[in-house]
Amino acid sequence: MAGKEVLQAPPWLARLLTPLFARHIARELAEKHPGLGPQDLSEKMRTELRAKLGREPTAEEDRLIDSVASRFPASEAKPEKPVSAWILLAANLVPLAGVLFWGWDAFALLALFWMENVVVGVFFALRMLSIDPRDPALWMAKLFMVPFFCFHYGMFTAIHGAFVFSLFGKKYAVGGLSVLEPAARAATDYGLWLPIAVLVASHLFSFVWNYLAGGEFRRAQLTRIMMQPYARVMVLHVTIILGGIAATALGSPVWTLVVLVALKIGLDLRAHVKEHSKA
């Protein structure tokens, strides 16, 4: 019904609303026909349209069908570990090198993992901006939700950072929520700038490879993307902080820090593979 309404509308209105309707139609069809892929879906929609109307689809109808299919998830499961997962694994080996060869303690690890949260927030803001860019109606929602996310996630990350630095980095005093200056000093003292750059490169690769080149941006939902980094922080960093407290209490022996890094890698990879296998 939604597709039919678009086709009966004036051409300028049909073009304006096609992305909006296509996104909702694709979502409904994905639930109704979970085994179909984009190509199968296109053929099914065209076959049903020919049977119902007794003619070939018009250019406008073809455009709507293609728009729906482009937002439909692939029928075949993605590889168990996408290429970006191996890049993520390699990037997370840098903190392991810090523990084994550069004399890092628990605070250095937790500070780096917190700084990665900031990087994650930047890329999720970019994801939100990139969702279905040809949909004018969606841009109206982005004008509110992207600045809101930047403010809210920024406050959330600042509170988290103040907690990490106050609890584990005693010599890096935090005044209120002003975490960036002590974080920069800690990055310089512990040599974290290279690991940060490697983690940025890993997240950039995933953004380009999975989200843009892989077409995830066509099927993503704005509210779901906005909430994803909070889930990552809550699950991953609560676990890591508890592990950091235990490691600090034991005097930060190397084996406890290796376990901490391994725990972070495992949780990261699990979340990464799950996220992109669903996209």
User: Are residues 241 and 137 both part of a single domain?
Assistant: yes
For a pLDDT cut of 90, what percent of the chain falls above it? 30
User: Are residues 136 and 233 both part of a single domain?
Assistant: yes
- State the pLDDT at residue 50: 80
**Is residue 105's pLDDT more than 80?**
yes
- Please report the DSSP string for 25-90 in residue order: HHHHHHHH-TT--HHHHHHHHHHHHHHHHSS---HHHHHHHHHHHHTSPPSSPPPSS-HHHHHHHH
Q: Is residue 76 part of a domain?
A: no
User: Are residues 52 and 123 both part of a single domain?
Assistant: no
* Structural domain boundaries, residue 103: 83-278
d(CA 95, CA 257) in angstroms, rounded, equals 10
- State the pLDDT at residue 195: 95
User: Are residues 153 and 233 both part of a single domain?
Assistant: yes
- State the pLDDT at residue 127: 96
Q: Is residue 270 part of a domain?
A: yes
**Is residue 83's pLDDT more than 70?**
yes
Q: pLDDT band for 196, please (50, 70, 90 cuts).
A: very high
User: Are residues 267 and 222 both part of a single domain?
Assistant: yes
User: Are residues 165 and 88 both part of a single domain?
Assistant: yes
**Is residue 14's pLDDT more than 70?**
no
Q: pLDDT band for 242, please (50, 70, 90 cuts).
A: confident
CA atoms within 13 A on the CB side of 258: 6
Mean pLDDT over 68-97 rounds to: 75
Q: Is residue 243 part of a domain?
A: yes
Only one residue has tokens 């512990």, namely 190
Q: Domain count for the chain, please give it.
A: 2
User: Are residues 27 and 141 both part of a single domain?
Assistant: no
User: Are residues 89 and 64 both part of a single domain?
Assistant: no
Among 14, 38, 70, give the residue marking a domain's end: 70
User: Are residues 51 and 187 both part of a single domain?
Assistant: no
Q: Is residue 78 part of a domain?
A: no
User: Are residues 89 and 142 both part of a single domain?
Assistant: yes
User: Are residues 226 and 202 both part of a single domain?
Assistant: yes
Q: pLDDT band for 250, please (50, 70, 90 cuts).
A: confident
**Is residue 32's pLDDT more than 80?**
no
Among 70, 94, 114, give the residue marking a domain's end: 70
Average pLDDT, the chain: 82
Q: pLDDT band for 74, please (50, 70, 90 cuts).
A: low
User: Are residues 146 and 25 both part of a single domain?
Assistant: no
Q: Is residue 224 part of a domain?
A: yes
Q: Is residue 36 part of a domain?
A: yes
Among 21, 42, 70, give the residue marking a domain's end: 70
| Residues found in the chain | 279
- State the pLDDT at residue 17: 64
Q: Is residue 166 part of a domain?
A: yes
Nearest to 128 by CA among 253, 200, 216: 216
Burial label for 251, CB within 10 Å (0-12, 13-18, 19+), is exposed
Q: Is residue 182 part of a domain?
A: yes
For a pLDDT cut of 70, what percent of the chain falls above it? 86
